Structure 1
Amino acid sequence: MDLFDRLCGKATGPVGVAVSGGSDSLALLILAHEWAEQSGRALVAFTVDHRLRPEAADEARAVAEICAGLNVPHQTLVWRAPKGKQALARRARHAMMAEALRAEGGTHLLLGHTADDQVETFLMRARQGSTWYGLAGMQPIALSPVWPEGQGVRIARPVLKRSRADLREELERRGVDWIDDPSNRNPAYERVRVRTLLAGQDRLKTRILACQARLQDLRRLEERLIAHWMREQVSIDGEGVFQLDLSGLPEERLIRALGVMLQIVGGRETPPRKDAVEPLAMRLTSDEPFSGATLGGVMIYRNRDHVSLAPEPEVSGDAAEEKLARARFAAIRSLYGAGT
């Protein structure tokens, strides 16, 4: 239970739990309930019905019954405009849960990602050519991946180091049945194909997780250094323009830090692609003349030793957008600096 305390110790309001009815999320619900009982915290559970399968409504009702038995408030969130793509469904799911949690006054949402998910993510990202930073995998604590709906919401993954088999044994000991989503067996999805390849490969999983643990340590160190740079070398002027001192940053950190700042100022959910940020970073730190550029909805200028970032006119326009950018900057700097 110490991990729940560490990840959610600064949470305000009820702690949210995403529960699909599968084994991972149900085990998370049971463990979170025990933690909440011991620590005097309140929980609220969310189940998303994407309306992509007719069985989803019955599955949500089954989860609601389990939550009622635990005396945990439960909400079923329905996607009113369903689309079949996984990426769209994921975004809609996170947006609905973030908005529902904020409406309850909560700040932390628990997800049931496991060590098995980490291994699968490692192999999927390796195939896509990810750098070591991406191969470090999912983080125990992260900001909500949607914006602006996810403002002020953090994602926590308390069972990230536990295997799916371990969690299922936990449920079996307690006599709790789970739901097997048929999409988890559909080879049309890359994660399902990777999961099939990994079946019975326990030694490989162990080796990947050991490698990933070292990459996680490196990533935490890198993010602490970026947080220090954000605190010492980034300022915001009276007009809401971000001023950056990029001097002295090693190349890889320069590209990553600039990408994060472009994400913040442009109000985007992810940084621009590295192959777009890298040449911009090189131009900004060279002795060559720089007349300005735009990338990711951001206007970029250089004045002596400082780089100015301001949202493009169609992105900016009111104090609310500037307040969002300031809040995102503070949230990322705080998350990186925590080194969780």
Structure 2
Amino acid sequence: MTQDTHNKNTDNTQLHNTADCDVRQRFFIQDSPVRGDVVRLSRSYAKTIAQKPYPEAIKRLLGEMLTAASLIIGTVKIDGRLSIQLQSADSDSLLNWAMAECDQDGIIRALASWKADNDEQIEAWDNMTQANEAFAELGAQGQGVLFINIQPDGGEPYQGIVERSHDNLADCLAHYQKQSAQIPTLINLASDGLQAGGILVQMLPRTFEETMEAEQNQDAGIDDDLWTRLTILTRTVKASELTTLDANEIIYRLYNEENVVAPDPVELTFGCTCSREKCEMAIEQIGEEEALDIVEEQGGIFEMDCGFCAEVYKFDKDDVQAIFAE
């Protein structure tokens, strides 16, 4: 992608200022069934990976996963949360699991578990610098498990299993979208350990009425070359551009010769859903006797910490007894 495109057909693109680099910016190609989103993460991503001493490759993988969750939730009509989860199928894998979540309000969080129990494992992580290297720790292609989990507020949860069809997260998710929803999808993801970004473009099916109108009105005819053209353009975007450029600068550079329309962007922020009330519910599941034993073993205080945000909730003997007295 070159700077030359920046100077063409300015009037065709109606975009907003997204100088704040924690946004999801939707866009449409006018008079076509194409929609897309660009996600940029900076402060929210930095807060996420600051919670634990992640190896560099896992930092970058979590950046791609956060970006992907923020992109894909824009394609589903729910009030709730969407998460992407990776689970290793190999006990010798250095990556146990990883997950990233985004809700409909743009609140994101992520977490990963990895092995670094000896010098050999630590050195192995030190030699990895890319997200795809951490992704490869799931095992060979076809191994490991990828999930998309959707939790509607007050509704039944849904889990989709993503085929490990490629050696990177973006292509696996694009393949899943095409296979499960029958919607041609392009996904590019990037993370440099400091910032993250990505783009998703989809060709939505036309309704029967839209198809009839296109056939009857030559001016509203289907652009048969549109998806091929957009595919070529989208594949030109560089990882460094996805992690450093403003969301609408990316859209403009790629598609400035198309009629692009963009609504207001959605702000993305780091946040956590943990609470003292949820910890109390977990203690109820443990049972009073076992919870009191833990209090005694831990010197009079039962501490429960959140891996996402590092918040620590403390319960003494009186607190535990109060939970079961209610």
TM-score normalised by the chain length of structure 1: 0.23
Determine which structure has greater relative contact order: mean sequence separation of CA pairs < 8 Å that are 6+ residues apart, divided by chain length: 2
TM-score normalised by the chain length of structure 2: 0.24
Q: Give 1 or 2 for the bigger CA radius of gyration.
A: 2
Structure with the bigger percentage of helix: 1
